[in-house]
Chain A
Amino acid sequence: MTDGIDGAAAATREKLSALIDGELDRPAVALACEAWREDPEARASWHAYHLIGDVLRSDDLAASAVADARFLAALRSRLAGEPVVLAPDAMTAAESPVVLASAAGRARRKWIAPTAVAAGFMMVASVSLMSRSPSPSTPSVSLATAPARAVVIPASAAAAMTPMVDARASAPRVLIRDPRIDRYLSAHKEFANSTAIGGFSSAFVREASTDAAAR
């Protein structure tokens, strides 16, 4: 982190970290949020800080890393499955949390780009590990700035993840709910799950769930 670009990046990260600590004043908050919004690396750092903070704050959070990864994977697939919202232009003021939320939505894909920094790799790697094992023959990348004891994640692990998510996101899918289909769902659920693992009761609740979803 000696050259100019890395120096700037380090300064940004310093800002983000201070933002997490609640130590920035209002104009600086706006700047930090802008960096967050514009710079995928800054977003990765931001996320890493939170993750590391969580892990240090509670052993429980550390223990449930796989669960976190699962949650993340589930969240990603849900987000990918969400209908496209015709969103208004991003706001220029950075005070509103809504801005962060919409920015997060737009930048979702970038999170899983293999070019993300160390923190980004953590996220990607964790998801990839549970879904697909990376090929052992592919060369690994190390991070120049990582200490010697750092765990090295093969680039293929990150790369493998990207097409999977994209394939799902781009799959043709109609998400507009058609109330006419609900009657078929109900009829199906009279049988579904009534004998297998769910038992009769759960079939009824699932029918009710169809009913509730239809409202």
Chain B
Amino acid sequence: MLRSLRALATMGALCAPAMFVQAAGSAEVSPIEPAQMRVWLMKIHDAARRQNFQGTFVVSSGNTVSSARIAHYADGGSQFERIESLDGQARSVFRHNELVQTFWPQLRVALVEQRYPLTTFPALLQAGGDQIAEFYEMRLLRAADRVAGHAAVALSLQPRDALRFGYRLWSEKESGLLLRVDTVDDRGAVLETSAFSDVEIGGKPQPDVVTQAMKKLDGYQVLRPKLSTTRLEAEGWSVRTVTPGFRQVHCVRRPLDSAARPPAPGSDAEVVQTIYSDGLTYVSIFIEKFDPERHASSASQVIGATHTLTRRTADAWITVVGDVPDVTLRAFAEALERTK
């Protein structure tokens, strides 16, 4: 067959671009109205809280892939969750509303955290200002797609400026449960994909499984990191101009350890973390005392969609992290100012 092909190709015949043009053209659909966009986002948001589901969730970011078994139960207004990582060191996370316990069975270490409920997203949606629609444009990509064996609606969220990434969302047709999210840069390249590879929606809630496991702390070294709410101004800092679309949602003083890893012994240095959101994505600014021993020169790092920037400002060491382009992190870092 390639014989004839060869003649074709040697002549320089171009049949492929016609196809590309056509495909690109058909992707042009009109944006979804802000009111309708709010309905979509609320449906997706609610499904993650109110639905019972269990399945395997895979995150592919940069050149790493991790997966976890997830079970989520909604029962009488409470949420219960069990997450078991399937890669690397064994780790189980149990959650009952804001109480989160992470177990590392091999290390016999458990982390008990009271997390802060972040209510930004519905607040941003319900404020009536169509905050999200101001900075993102939603389009229907495919009304009838399929993810992990479920009928799904594919939507795109395209940023209106260069300060944020775009997203492609696959929402399960009936429940609205988010089955897959792609984070996409300005050229359409996928930076990160999170998706269920299999999921069962609408099973019977089994909150006991979660609550029982959360009682079994015997034999574990239990760590309870303390996060205290603070204000940026009280810490002697202010942000001159907040990047368009973002607003501060939280500010804490905390040790720098989290559920992802057992806290390193002796790492008691506290940092101030202030979190900004545009309703879809987050940016964290960490501020700590500059320490020439630990803080090298300014640098930036990219893993999947997550960018990190570090720099020294006055006597402080600033780390800005977020699933946003570099330019946005720089804007945040430059707007930060010492007030005392």
**Hey, which bits of chain A sit against chain B, CB under 8 A?**
1, 10, 13-14, 17-18, 20-21, 45, 48-49, 51-53, 55-56, 62, 65-66, 69-70, 73-74, 76-77, 81, 117-119, 121-122, 125-127, 129-131, 143, 145-147, 150-151, 153, 164, 171, 173-175, 177-178, 180-202, 204-215
Contact = CB atoms under 8 A, between A and B. Distances in A.
Contacts of B249: 191
Contacts of A213: 61-62, 64, 303
A74 B189 contact: yes
A206 B192 CA distance: 10
B178 interface: yes
Given A13-B10, A49-B6, A150-B13, 19 more contacts: A13-B6, A55-B16, A66-B23, A122-B14, A145-B12, A146-B13, A153-B17, A174-B301, A181-B310, A186-B257, A186-B261, A187-B258, A191-B250, A192-B323, A197-B178, A202-B181, A204-B93, A204-B259, A205-B67
B41 A65 contact: no
Nearest to A17: B6
Contacts of B280: 196-197
Given A196-B121, A196-B280, A198-B181, A205 B13 contact: no
B299 interface: yes
A150 B258 contact: no
B324 to A, nearest CB: 10
Interface in B24-74: 24, 27, 41, 44-45, 48-49, 57-59, 61-62, 64, 66-68, 70, 72
The 10 A-B residue pairs with the shortest CB-CB distance, nearest first, are A199-B48, A186-B260, A17-B6, A186-B258, A118-B12, A74-B189, A188-B284, A192-B282, A188-B321, A145-B12
Contacts of B282: 188, 191-193, 196
A198 B20 contact: no
B308 A53 contact: no
Nearest to B250: A191
A177 B301 contact: yes
9 contacts: A52-B16, A122-B17, A129-B24, A175-B302, A178-B299, A195-B118, A196-B121, A199-B45, A206-B59
B340 interface: no
A65 B323 CA distance: 28
A87 B188 CA distance: 30
B258 A183 contact: yes
Given A130-B24, A173-B302, A187 B286 contact: yes
B103 interface: no
Nearest to B261: A211
A193 B284 CA distance: 12
Given A180-B294, A188-B284, A212-B87, A131 B16 contact: no
A178 B310 CA distance: 11
A19 to B, nearest CB: 11
Contacts of A205: 57-59, 66-68, 70, 83, 85, 194
Given A208-B66, A209-B61, A185 B308 contact: yes
Given A187-B254, A201-B70, A118 B14 contact: yes
B306 interface: yes
A196 B277 contact: yes
Interface of B: 1-3, 5-6, 8-21, 23-24, 27, 41, 44-45, 48-49, 57-59, 61-62, 64, 66-68, 70, 72, 79, 81, 83, 85, 87-89, 91, 93, 95, 115, 118-121, 167, 169, 178, 181, 185-190, 194, 249-250, 254, 256-261, 271, 273, 275, 277, 279-282, 284, 286, 294, 296, 299-304, 306, 308, 310, 319, 321-323, 326
Nearest to A55: B16
Contact of B17 (A13, A151, A188, A198): A151
Nearest to A132: B187
Given A192-B322, A192-B323, A205-B67, A200 B254 contact: no
B309 to A, nearest CB: 10
Nearest to B297: A174
B303 A188 contact: no
Given A178-B301, A212-B66, A130 B188 contact: yes
